[in-house]
Amino acid sequence: MFALLKSLHFRTNWLNSKKRNVAVVGCSTDTENSHLAWLTTPKAQGGIQGVTYPIVADVAKTISLNYGVLAGEYEYNEEGMMEFKGIPIAYRATFLIDKNGIVRHELVNDLPLGRNIDEAIRIVDALRHNEKYGEVCPANWEEGKDAMTASREGVADYLAKH
Average per-residue pLDDT for the chain: 85
Which CATH number does the domain housing residue 97 bear? Answer: 3.40.30.10
pLDDT value of residue 72: 85
pLDDT tens sequence across 124-151: 899 989 999 999 999 999 999 999 999 9
Beta-strand pair 82-85/73-76: antiparallel
Task: Decide if 140 is inside a domain.
Answer: no
Residues 6+ apart with CB under 8 A from 86: 70, 71, 72, 73
Q: What are phi and psi of 24, to 5 degrees?
A: -95, 130
Q: What's the structural domain count of the chain?
A: 1
Asked if residue 147 is part of any domain, the answer here is no
How much is the pTM?
0.78
Q: How many CB atoms lie within 10 A of CB 85?
A: 10
Residue 128 domain-assigned (yes or no):
no
Query: Nearest to residue 136, comparing CAs of 157, 116, 118, 115?
Result: 157
